Structure 1
Amino acid sequence: MPDETSDSEEATVNVAVISGMGVCLPRRIVSNDEIAPPLDVSDEWIRTRTGIARRHRIEAGTSTSDLAAAAGRAALESAGVGTADMVLLATSTPDRKCPSTAPEVAWRLGLGEAPALDVNAACSGFIYALALASSHIRSGAHASVLVIGADCYSTIVDPADRSTAVLFGDGAGAMVVRAGEEGEPGSLLATTLGSDGSGGDFAAVAAGGSRLPHGARYEAAGAHHLALNGRQIYLQAIRRMSAATKSVVAAAGWAVDDLEALVAHQANQRILDAVGKRLGLSPGRLVGNIEDVGNTAAASVPLAMADAAERKCVPVGGRTALTAFGAGLTWGAVAATWPAATPVTSPAETRA
């Protein structure tokens, strides 16, 4: 029989659309003046090298799932929905080594038996999870996905190591993405991901996995703390985020000059400035909040985006690129139009 389906009736490909944004930052704020003296540095020393003035840190008894559940609930509220078909939790500081943290978060949010999994791509985790969510929605497998980035790097950073202690803060950011149409604000139009395992030692916690099981001898050597090769991370982050941004912008059919906002992983202000300069973007188009929250790892991109949305510094529908670089090495980028969602902020939900 001949195909009687008209062009107007042909099935269209779903597009993932950001419809809600949620934020959770621990109540405790740690200023440079608090952490500088034990490290034999100053507020000026930290600001000059990192652009950070303060960061949030969890209190004893609070964990990654507490922040993730709160941010996820806030994102659902922002989207005006009570559920999602799937949960992707980007984190490299899970509550436990095994099992993953996402199923507990989904349970705490009352999402029934929705599939839930952790995505561990370090600071690139949220971009990886957002790309996965887009793929699931475009394929028709799910109509909505709750994507959360949550990390508590204060639990793996050596407080006596000035190369890491000044950088990291704790927090969680979340987005609801749903099936929609390409013309809607918040549409995810293109994604790109990459990795290079040859640089896996540039930023790593050596002990605790199967290669070096956690034990007293590794505790003494400090192998359970995050160690950074600062020079390599600096060079790789600039190179990878710049290239990923160019790639995803081209895939969306734009030019870099068309961008109205670049939301890059808030690793270090000098890295962010260098990426902007390499791309030829004016400082006004670089979205960031590193001064107030520090490097929040997988939570970095959604927290920066929510902060900008709250301040209304990017027009709804504006051409936007999100990019991140992390340990692994991993990197990625997403091209999107700026969402219309209003962020909702929630305190951590400590489990009884």
Structure 2
Amino acid sequence: MEEIKFNQIGVSFKGSGSYVPDQILTNQKISQKVDTSDEWIKSRTGISERRISNLKENVTEMGYVAALNAIKMANWDIETIDLIILATSTPNDLFGSAPSIQAKLGAENAVAFDLTAACSGFLFSLVTATQYLKGGSFKRAIVIGADQLSSFVDWNDRRSCILFGDGAGALAIEATNLFDNFIGFDMRTDGERGSFLNLPSKNNKDSIVDNIDFLSGGFSSIQMNGQEVYKFAVREVPIILEKLFRTTNFSSDKVDWLILHQANQRILDSVGDRLKISKEKILSNLEKYGNTSAATIPIMMDEAIRDNRIKQNDIIASSGFGAGLSWGAALFKWG
């Protein structure tokens, strides 16, 4: 029988990396700050501790280490990288932190830019990078998810301060004409529900000269309606994944791993139940790191790849969801 040749450009996954700060903020320590307890937090979220950046750490530093680890696993010459996308909502430079990562890596041939979509950011960035690669514009890309949410948490608000932590993760992906391991994706946004989770700017009125007023720059702390975000996630995430399975002619029983944005263990369990995916296939490190926004999916992937849970040719279903409100799903094969 004649061999069927793959004539289109596909995507291959070549490496992963991550970074989390050394500072550990446990539930017990948070209970010294606000009226809560370890049992209360764990029973409602699944979180036991989270990592907090020190005074010298930021999104650039964390993203750089994660990217470098992914490049080392891929065994790439840094000069061969064409594209760097940083998914973040907390850049240490509001004009963009990806160029700083590009410079630290010495990836002088790569174009680098930030993409902001909060907790959906990494998945949206992964989709964006794969489309550049499949379009033939670039050969090699680094996709980074990094956030420093500790800088924007109200540490006196016990409803939200228990949820968030800092960290970074990255994937190295490459164009190939031999096969395509990026099977499919779907993405959605509903700005009408955006007020459920946001980080609004501060509207501090000031004056330049007489009759010329302006609003000075700055941001408030994270604003969140936890009940509404929970209802949104447990409803919309299974729907978008089920739709993706239909359009790609896959079924949930063919999935080796489900990797969701690590927001709340109850959300992960609920989505798994709806899709009839066993708990053994649902990857979670929420207990150790909390919600690191755009970093949750790539940190989880890197841990599972390095401890050999995720193996060559494993099928992974993933979904990111959060502020915007935005959500998306991707189906891909590792390797």
**Residue 95 (1) aligns with residue 89 (2):** no
Q: What is the TM-score when the length of structure 1 is the normalising length?
A: 0.87
What secondary structure, in the 3-state scheme, does the structure 2 residue paired with 1:165 have? coil
* Letter of the structure 2 residue corresponding to residue 95 of structure 1: N
Q: Which of the numbers 198, 210, 226 marks the counterpart of 2:192?
A: 198
Q: Distance in 1 between matches of 2:304 and 2:6?
A: 35
Q: Distance in 2 between matches of 1:258 and 1:173?
A: 26
1:350 paired residue number: none
Q: Distance in 1 between matches of 2:251 and 2:164?
A: 33
Deviations 1:317-336 (A, max 9, x none): 12210111010011111101
Cα deviation, residue 8, structure 1: 8.3
1:166-205 to structure 2, matched below 5 A, reads: 166-180=162-176, 183=179, 187-205=181-199
Q: Quote the sequence identity (%).
A: 34
Cα deviation, residue 182, structure 1: 6.3
Q: Distance in 1 between matches of 2:270 and 2:296?
A: 18
CA contact (8 A) 1:17 1:181 kept: no
**Residue 63 (1) aligns with residue 86 (2):** no
Q: CA RMSD of the aligned region, Å?
A: 2.0
2:49 paired residue number: 54
Q: Distance in 2 between matches of 1:182 and 1:202?
A: 44
Q: Distance in 1 between matches of 2:273 and 2:65?
A: 36
Against the structure 1 CA distance between its residues 250 and 161, is the aligned structure 2 distance closer, same or farther, given a 3 Å change threshold?
A: same
What secondary structure, in the 3-state scheme, does the structure 2 residue paired with 1:112 have? coil
**Shift >6 Å, 4+ stretches:** 7-11
1:1-352 to structure 2, matched below 5 A, reads: 12-83=7-78, 84-97=81-94, 99-180=95-176, 183=179, 187-208=181-202, 212=203, 224-339=220-335
Please, which runs of 5 or more residues in structure 1 have no aligned partner? 1-6, 216-221, 340-352
Cα deviation, residue 113, structure 1: 4.5
More displaced 10-residue stretch of structure 1: 315-324 or 298-307: 315-324
Q: Distance in 2 between matches of 1:333 and 1:213?
A: 38
What secondary structure, in the 3-state scheme, does the structure 2 residue paired with 1:160 have? coil
What secondary structure, in the 3-state scheme, does the structure 2 residue paired with 1:46 have? helix
Against the structure 1 CA distance between its residues 314 and 111, is the aligned structure 2 distance closer, same or farther, given a 3 Å change threshold?
A: closer
Q: Distance in 1 between matches of 2:260 and 2:141?
A: 22
Please, which runs of 5 or more residues in structure 2 have no aligned partner? 207-217
* Letter of the structure 1 residue corresponding to residue 154 of structure 2: D
Q: Distance in 2 between matches of 1:168 and 1:182?
A: 41
* Letter of the structure 2 residue corresponding to residue 188 of structure 1: F
Q: What is the TM-score when the length of structure 2 is the normalising length?
A: 0.91
Cα deviation, residue 200, structure 1: 1.1
CA contact (8 A) 2:6 2:177 kept: no
What secondary structure, in the 3-state scheme, does the structure 2 residue paired with 1:135 have? helix
Against the structure 1 CA distance between its residues 213 and 147, is the aligned structure 2 distance closer, same or farther, given a 3 Å change threshold?
A: farther
Q: Distance in 2 between matches of 1:199 and 1:101?
A: 28
Against the structure 1 CA distance between its residues 9 and 273, is the aligned structure 2 distance closer, same or farther, given a 3 Å change threshold?
A: closer
CA contact (8 A) 1:207 1:213 kept: no
CA contact (8 A) 2:186 2:330 kept: yes
